[in-house]
């Protein structure tokens, strides 16, 4: 059997692999980006209209596209419902954009570090990476992918000046600007979250997700694209899966209509802010002498850089697994794994573990790291 040559470029997602481990009992996981179980909408509101059982439009159900357009306009990005495509998770948007724009050797500018499952997709299509630090000017490239609002993994939120600078630099390179914004609603401080693509002179794609603000198991996200890109993206969506699950679309529509969305988002923010603060105080107690980090202003993660330049968080994960504690080592998030910090960084999810597990898990992890860096 001969697999397609692109399969040589497809690596397994380390997060998905670790997620399988975390399903074992007694494992304390800081690895995945799992939203809090108690943040999900009540299933009592789950009503399936008869019409949702039929095939639907590839772009998504019209009332939902209208809703999404209004939601995105509220964020400061003018858009028509015609330019909205409902996705089977925003991960699908990365796949469709890569199919649209990335050939073998296409220069793609990505933040370093960046969302590792975006790297998985871009690599599959043969991207040639041009890395840049989050918030810094991107190098010239056909496509610039960024996650400017509470970035996964660093939590970085671009300042107003960084947003403007990004628009100017991308326009100078005539790049397609691809903004990934799944954490928009998970905001704990007052910061500028205006989409970078808003007012961008060139072609762009902006995408969001219902995974973090409603529930990831529904696998529903959306994208909005500039005029030139909408029709080709719809054709790719047709070819990929005909359309997204209409039961999920109906439920999301129902939740967005029935609930006071703004109140729900406020509750969610309060809930996660409290978790972040607790996690941060436990980190202060155990990791103060071992690592540097900043308090994330939104999103789901703390990003730690161990002070020891020779630390290897992949090796530390092995030891942590034996103690049934899991986290994400930093290396897979780097497009350039020779980056000076690739081996000494780690990502910790603060939204899913219970308070007790946070305290127990971090109390286990800190001495493991201490002995690894001293030994």
Query: Among 57-65, 85-93, 120-128, 230-238, which window interacts with ligand PMP (CB under 6 A)?
Result: 85-93
Residue 73 beta carbon to ligand PMP: minimum distance, rounded to whole angstroms: 20
* Residues facing 85 on adjacent strands: 223
**How far apart, in whole angstroms, are the C-alpha atoms of residue 62 and residue 82?**
9
| Cβ atoms < 10 Å from Cβ of 270 | 11
Q: Per CB under 6 A, does 297 bind ligand PMP?
A: no
Number of residues near ligand PMP (by CB under 6 A): 13
Q: Per CB under 6 A, does 154 bind ligand PMP?
A: no
Among 29, 39, 58, 91, indicate the residue that binds ligand PMP (CB under 6 A). 91
Residue 362 beta carbon to ligand PMP: minimum distance, rounded to whole angstroms: 22
| Choice between 95 and 203, CB closer to ligand PMP | 95
Q: Per CB under 6 A, does 226 bind ligand PMP?
A: no
Q: Per CB under 6 A, does 152 bind ligand PMP?
A: yes
Cα 344 to chain centroid, rounded:
21
* Residues facing 144 on adjacent strands: 109, 177
Q: Per CB under 6 A, does 195 bind ligand PMP?
A: no
Q: Per CB under 6 A, does 147 bind ligand PMP?
A: yes
Task: Report which residue's Cβ sits closest to ligand PMP.
Answer: 89
Sheet holding 107-111, edge to edge: 84-87, 221-225, 204-209, 176-180, 143-146, 107-111, 128-132
CA-atom Rg of the chain in angstroms: 20
Q: How far is CA 217 from CA 35, 207, 222, 252, 362, in A?
A: 11, 18, 15, 12, 28
Q: Per CB under 6 A, does 89 bind ligand PMP?
A: yes
Among 90, 226, 249, 349, indicate the residue that binds ligand PMP (CB under 6 A). 90
Among positions 27-66, residues that touch ligand PMP (CB under 6 A) are 33
Number of helices followed by number of strands (H, E) in the chain: 10, 13
Closest CA relative to residue 366, chosen from 328, 329, 325: 325
Residue 118 beta carbon to ligand PMP: minimum distance, rounded to whole angstroms: 6
**How far apart, in whole angstroms, are the C-alpha atoms of residue 128 and residue 221?**
27
Q: Where are the alpha helices (DSSP H) in the chain?
A: 14-22, 62-74, 90-101, 116-124, 160-172, 227-241, 246-258, 261-287, 313-322, 355-374
Query: Among 41-49, 55-63, 86-94, 191-199, which window interacts with ligand PMP (CB under 6 A)?
Result: 86-94
Q: Per CB under 6 A, does 330 bind ligand PMP?
A: no
95 close to 240: Cβ distance less than 8 angstroms: yes
* Residues facing 28 on adjacent strands: 325
Q: How far is CA 297 from CA 69, 76, 273, 310, in A?
A: 26, 20, 9, 29
| Choice between 119 and 365, CB closer to ligand PMP | 119
Query: Among 72-80, 101-109, 132-140, 208-216, which window interacts with ligand PMP (CB under 6 A)?
Result: 208-216
**How far apart, in whole angstroms, are the C-alpha atoms of residue 32 and residue 30?**
6
Among 58, 112, 154, 209, indicate the residue that binds ligand PMP (CB under 6 A). 209
Among 41, 221, 296, 332, indicate the residue that binds ligand PMP (CB under 6 A). 221
Q: Per CB under 6 A, does 211 bind ligand PMP?
A: yes
Cα 56 to chain centroid, rounded:
27
Per-residue mark of binding to ligand PMP, 100-129 (x: CB under 6 A) = ---------------x--------------
272 close to 247: Cβ distance less than 8 angstroms: no
Residue 94 beta carbon to ligand PMP: minimum distance, rounded to whole angstroms: 7
| Choice between 113 and 182, CB closer to ligand PMP | 182
Sites of contact with ligand PMP (CB under 6 A): 33, 89-91, 115, 147, 152, 180, 182, 209, 211, 216, 221
């Amino acid at each position: 059997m001969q697999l397609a040559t692109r399969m040589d470029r497809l690596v397994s997602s380390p997060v998905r692999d670790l997620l399988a481990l975390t399903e074992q009992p007694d494992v304390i996981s800081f690895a995945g980006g799992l939203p809090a179980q108690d943040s999900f909408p009540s299933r009592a509101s789950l009503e399936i209209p008869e019409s949702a059982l039929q095939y639907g439009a590839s772009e998504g159900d019209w009332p939902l596209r209208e809703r999404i357009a209004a939601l995105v306009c509220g964020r400061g990005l003018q858009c028509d419902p015609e330019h909205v495509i409902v996705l089977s998770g925003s991960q699908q948007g990365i796949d469709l954009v890569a199919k649209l724009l990335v050939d073998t050797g296409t220069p793609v500018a990505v933040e370093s570090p960046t969302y590792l499952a975006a790297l998985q997709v871009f690599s599959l299509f043969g991207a040639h990476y041009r890395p840049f630090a989050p918030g810094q000017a991107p190098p010239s490239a056909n496509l610039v992918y960024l996650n400017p609002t509470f970035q996964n993994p660093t939590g970085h939120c671009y300042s107003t000046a960084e947003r403007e600078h990004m628009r100017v630099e991308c326009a100078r390179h005539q790049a397609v600007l691809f903004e990934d914004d799944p954490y928009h609603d998970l905001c704990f401080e007052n910061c500028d979250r205006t989409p970078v693509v808003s007012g961008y002179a060139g072609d762009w794609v902006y995408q969001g997700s219902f995974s973090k603000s409603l529930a990831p198991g529904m696998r529903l996200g959306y994208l909005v694209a500039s005029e030139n890109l909408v029709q080709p993206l719809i054709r790719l969506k047709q070819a990929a899966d005909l359309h997204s699950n209409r039961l999920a679309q109906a439920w999301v529509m129902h939740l967005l209509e029935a609930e006071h969305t703004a109140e729900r988002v406020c509750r969610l923010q309060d809930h996660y802010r409290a978790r972040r603060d607790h996690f941060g105080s436990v980190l202060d107690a155990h990791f103060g002498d071992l690592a540097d980090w900043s308090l994330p202003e939104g999103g789901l993660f703390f990003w730690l850089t161990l002070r020891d330049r020779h630390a290897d968080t992949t090796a530390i994960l092995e030891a942590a697994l034996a103690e049934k504690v899991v986290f994400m080592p930093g290396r897979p998030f780097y497009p350039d794994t020779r980056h000076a910090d690739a081996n000494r960084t780690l990502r910790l999810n603060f939204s899913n573990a219970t308070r007790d597990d946070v305290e127990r898990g971090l109390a286990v992890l800190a001495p493991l790291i201490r002995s690894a860096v001293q030994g």
